[in-house]
Amino acid sequence: MDSCKFSMFSSLCLIIILMVVSGDENAQLLLVKEKVSLLSFKSGIVLDPEGALASWNSSNIHVCNWTRVKCNNSSSQIVQLDLSGLSLRGRISPALANLSSLVILDLSRNFFAGHIPAELGYLSQLRQLSLSWNLLEGKIPFELGFLHQLVYLDLASNRLASDIPAPFFCNGSSSLEYIDLSNNSLSGEIPLKIDCALTDLRFLLLWSNKLVGHVPQALSNSSKLQWLDLESNMLCGELPSEIVRKMPQLQFLYLSYNDFVSHDGNTNLEPFLASLVNSSNFQELELAGNNLGGQIPPIIGDLSTNLVQIHLDENLLYGSIVPHISNLVNLTLLNLSSNLLNGTIPPELCRMEKLERVYLSNNSFYGEIPAALGGIPHLGLLDLSKNKLSGSIPDSFANLSQLRRLLLYENQLSGTIPPSLGKCINLEILDLSHNEISGTIPSAVAALRSLKLYLNLSSNHLQGPLPLELSKMDMVLAIDLSSNNLSGSIPTQLGSCIALEHLNLSGNMLEGPLPASIGQLPYLKQLDVSSNQLSGEIPQSLEESPTLKQLNFSFNRFSGNVSDKGAFLSLTIDSFLGNKGLCGTIKGMPKCRIKHAYHSLILPILLSLFATPFLCVFLVLRSRFRRQLAIFNQGDLEDEEKETKELKYPRISYQQLIEATGGFSASSLIGSGRFGHVYKGVLQDNTRIAVKVLDSKTARELSGSFKRECQVLKRARHRNLIRIITICSKPDFKALVLPLMSNGSLEMYLYPSHGLNTGLDLVQLVSICSDVAEGVAYLHHYSPVRVVHCDLKPCNILLDDDMTALVTDFGIARLVKGVDESSTSKNDSVSFSSADGCLCGSVGYIAPEYGMGKQASTQGDVYSFGVLLLEIIAGKRPTDVLFHAGSSLHEWVKSHYPHKLDLIIEEAMLRIAPSAMPAYCNKIWSVVIVELIELGLMCTQYNPSTRPIMLDVAHEMARLKQFLSNPPSLLIEEEEASSKVGAS
């Protein structure tokens, strides 16, 4: 009996052992299978620019250690594969379907082409699938409908076409929370049937496709929906009132640019707006570009007070604006343009004190512009153009300190231009054209230096001379004063409008000569002075202009010879009609008579006889002046040495620095430059320091640089400037002791080491650039001794523990004494030379005027900051562009602006945006990227006087930082939802 039991026990043990061995073998086989699958996937990659998949090789046994691969702790099976944002090129291998335990698959923000493998539909455990921002094409495989555990699905921004497969939405599972198929070419109807219940759906983004039909009734089952974006399709029918009524958590609703109509035969908008009243967190409503008819009902004022944007433009709405709309006290944008609205503009709009942009153009509003609009403190854009408004422009607009764009053209406005508009110091566009405005152009308005885009006062009844103050508009791109009654001469000072590209003075009563300075404008493309009473010869400078493309001199009193060369090469007689005194080689123009030229030799001879004595006197005076200047400079040097001796620092001995840095060992070295080396160390009190040691071989040559940096760091105190702890100076050793910045420099984040993923996102980069702008603005305008940094670049921007940026390395800074806030660019500079061995900046960041021997100025720092902005967005070192494209970074970016920016924006988003970013962030970030490009281009303009000052740059960066730091509350909720998916 006992032997029988023993035999049975032995058999059972053997079976268990065999099962365990078999289980181990199966597990090993599964791991091998997953490894083979990843290697198969890698074989389909034709380009891995970052070398991210270098660790994926057969010799590396443990796939769980491979880059961007995560495994389950217990089974060691792959549960997450995140290869987002690596710029990979190739095709997606079907072998990924063998990763049977995969929960997260993220291949977004790459350049994968070809079709989506149908085999991905067999990843039964998959909860998050993101293939967005690639080049995928073809159909969406219906097999993806088999993914019953799927929570997050993002196939946006590809080239997918054909219909959305029915199982995609109706697969018997209600687990989907996020669906984004936007920005493709999908067609057909939205395949959501009445028996489909996506009860957990919170985000549905289908914008920019070719979808047709009605919004499916089954969507009303998605009562948790917060974000519905169907914009830019071909959907039709009545607005989906009954559907959205059952979405109390709805926050964002985008239905613009479809073919929707309102209720009751397209006459009643009230039922739809009533269906949104119970959505207490509602924030944005976009219904633009449909065929919506009816009036704006008073119930619009009963929508959530959280509402910040309303877009009802480009519809068929009629009637007046109901004053009840002013209940929406948090509204920042109101767009009712391009409708059939009439009546007067209600002054109650001023109750919406957070309004920033108001568009009421292209309607039939009449009456006067309410003066109350001048009481909206944050108003930055007001567009009342193309209406029937009358009366004068309110003086109260002077209170709009944030106003950037004022568009009042094509109305029936009368009176004069209020001089108080000159107080709108941030105004970039002023368009009052096609009205009945009379009087002169106020000098205060003509002196608006803030105008960056255009000034249009054409087609009015303005009279009087052109104000000399127009010359202060040194950043404006276009000036149109045509079709008025302006008289007098054209001031030569207009040549100071350096950025001007278009100038139209036609249809006035201007007389006298055309100034040669107009032809010397470096960017002028179009000039029209026709139908005036101008006389004299056409300046040679216009013919020699390398930029002029369109010219019109017709119907004036010009005389003299006109050639068909240079800028005149492509002109025809039509550009010169009505000038009887002109002759030349233009076809249709009378030939010029040949005159004897012998008398032209007499004047130069006489001038030379009289000029010789004056030249001798000038040389003698110049010699005396140079001697006085040498004495003056010597006094300045003595003063500087005296100031340096007066500076006092905490005492840290040379021996303490040796101990702190391990004898300045190689292991402590953290950086090198043309001035020497930087070492990290720890003092006895545990203070972490960085020691900047000047190279002993050049210490004597750079002693001036060392003193200068000591002066700057000691006197300048600002949260965004590196502070000095102490100095150590001996005859053969000079060092600066600074706090150690644990996060290194911006350089290492823009160009991370091979294989490291240390990039910064746009929010962080804007914050860093804002810090830098604040620090440099302090140096330029508020420091006890004004400072020009002269070497602003990524490696001279350090980041502390909180990622706050600090500007450092003042070795070649220039101290500017006696500069007040109102100083001009001429006074805001000091002379420099390279006699002390210091070049004024680094290649690629040096302002072009420095290369021509000009003075170092604050505008040079603005140029370097602009290069920094363009470098961050373009992802290119300025030297890379210089050596490969043969042009500056400014020229390279400007060649893409504004119509070829898509590729730059797309590549920037791949580098500085997190993976699986929602659609609304794409829109916001794209806008910010464009604004950074525009600011960078403004800062890097060739002429220093056209660049903004650093205070304005800092203000603009602070505005962008604020814009990004307060995104819609939905962004936080979505990130939380995404993190929950990843954790599960």
Domain carrying residue 723: 640-740
Angstrom CA distances, 46 to 35, 137, 697, 938, stand at 19, 18, 49, 39
DSSP structure class, residue 64 = G
Residue with tokens 């006109």: 562
Q: Convert the pLDDT of each residue in 700-758 to its tens digit.
A: 544 555 555 565 555 567 888 887 777 777 777 778 788 888 788 898 888 875 434 44
Pairs from 558-563 (Cβ < 8 Å, separation ≥ 24): 558/514, 558/534, 558/582, 559/535, 560/536, 561/537, 561/592, 562/538, 562/586, 562/589
DSSP structure class, residue 255 = -
Q: How far apart are CA 619 and CA 603, in angstroms?
A: 24
Q: Convert the pLDDT of each residue in 182-202 to its tens digit.
A: 989 999 999 988 888 889 999
Domain CATH for 768: 1.10.510.10
| Annotation says 791 is catalytic | yes
In a domain, 195, yes or no: no
Q: Which of 657, 653, 679 is nearest to 666 (CA)?
A: 679
Residue 692 annotated as binding? Answer: yes
- Does pLDDT of 344 surpass 90? yes
| 673 in the same domain as 794 | no
In a domain, 675, yes or no: yes
% of the chain beyond a pLDDT of 70: 80
| 781 in the same domain as 858 | yes
Q: Convert the pLDDT of each residue in 128-169 to its tens digit.
A: 999 998 989 999 999 998 899 999 999 998 999 989 998 878
- Does pLDDT of 15 surpass 60? no
Q: Do 232 and 287 touch, CB atoms closer than 8 A?
A: no
| 915 in the same domain as 820 | yes
- Does pLDDT of 559 surpass 80? yes
Q: pLDDT class for 490, splitting at 50, 70, 90?
A: very high
| 766 in the same domain as 654 | no
In a domain, 547, yes or no: no
Last residue of a domain, one of 706, 740, 774: 740
Domain CATH for 77: 3.80.10.10
Q: Convert the pLDDT of each residue in 424-457 to its tens digit.
A: 888 988 999 999 999 999 999 999 988 878 899 9
Q: How far apart are CA 975 and CA 978, in angstroms?
A: 5
In a domain, 66, yes or no: yes
β-pair partners for 295? 318
Q: What is the mean pLDDT of residues 388-407?
A: 94
In a domain, 273, yes or no: no
Dihedral of the alpha carbons of 912, 917, 918, 919, in degrees to the nearest 10: 40
In this structure, the number of other CB atoms found within 10 A of the CB of residue 347 comes to 15
Q: What is the mean pLDDT of residues 351-375?
A: 95
Q: pLDDT class for 824, splitting at 50, 70, 90?
A: very low
% of the chain beyond a pLDDT of 90: 48
What's the confidence (pLDDT) of residue 263?
Answer: 96
Angstrom CA distances, 827 to 712, 719, 821, stand at 20, 27, 11
Cis ω before 898 (30° cut-off from 0): yes
Last residue of a domain, one of 135, 168, 188: 188
Q: Do 213 and 186 touch, CB atoms closer than 8 A?
A: no
| 853 in the same domain as 717 | no
In a domain, 253, yes or no: no
| 937 in the same domain as 793 | yes
Q: Do 323 and 350 touch, CB atoms closer than 8 A?
A: no
| 718 in the same domain as 671 | yes
Q: Let me know how long the chain is.
A: 984
In a domain, 548, yes or no: no
- Does pLDDT of 885 surpass 70? no
Total domains present in the chain: 3
> SS3 for 10?
helix
Q: How far apart are CA 858 and CA 92, in angstroms?
A: 52
Pairs from 396-403 (Cβ < 8 Å, separation ≥ 24): 396/371, 396/372, 397/373, 397/421, 397/424, 398/374, 398/423, 398/424, 399/374, 399/375, 400/374, 400/376, 400/424, 401/377, 401/425, 401/426, 402/356, 402/377, 402/378, 402/426, 403/379, 403/427
| 749 in the same domain as 734 | no
What's the confidence (pLDDT) of residue 305?
Answer: 94
Burial environment of residue 100 by CB neighbours within 10 A (0 to 12, 13 to 18, 19 or more):
middle
Among 180, 383, 431, 791, the one annotated catalytic: 791
- Does pLDDT of 312 surpass 90? yes
Amino acid, single-letter form, for residue 479: I
What's the confidence (pLDDT) of residue 892?
Answer: 85
- Does pLDDT of 628 surpass 70? no
Q: What is the mean pLDDT of residues 60-83?
A: 87
Q: Which of 35-44, 74-83, 301-310, 821-830 has the lowest mean pLDDT?
A: 821-830
Q: How far apart are CA 204 and CA 207, in angstroms?
A: 9
In a domain, 425, yes or no: no
Token pair listed for 898: 């504004």
83 vs 755, more confident: 83
| 982 in the same domain as 893 | yes
| 852 in the same domain as 902 | yes
| 127 in the same domain as 67 | yes
Q: How far apart are CA 653 and CA 204, in angstroms?
A: 66
- Within its chain, how far is the Cα of 701 from the centroid? 42
Last residue of a domain, one of 673, 708, 740: 740
Domain CATH for 729: 3.30.200.20
Q: What is the mean pLDDT of residues 165-185?
A: 84
Q: What is the mean pLDDT of residues 940-954?
A: 86
- Does pLDDT of 613 surpass 90? no
| 787 in the same domain as 699 | no
Q: Convert the pLDDT of each residue in 760-817 to its tens digit.
A: 889 899 999 999 999 999 888 877 667 888 888 898 898 988 889 998 876 555 555 4
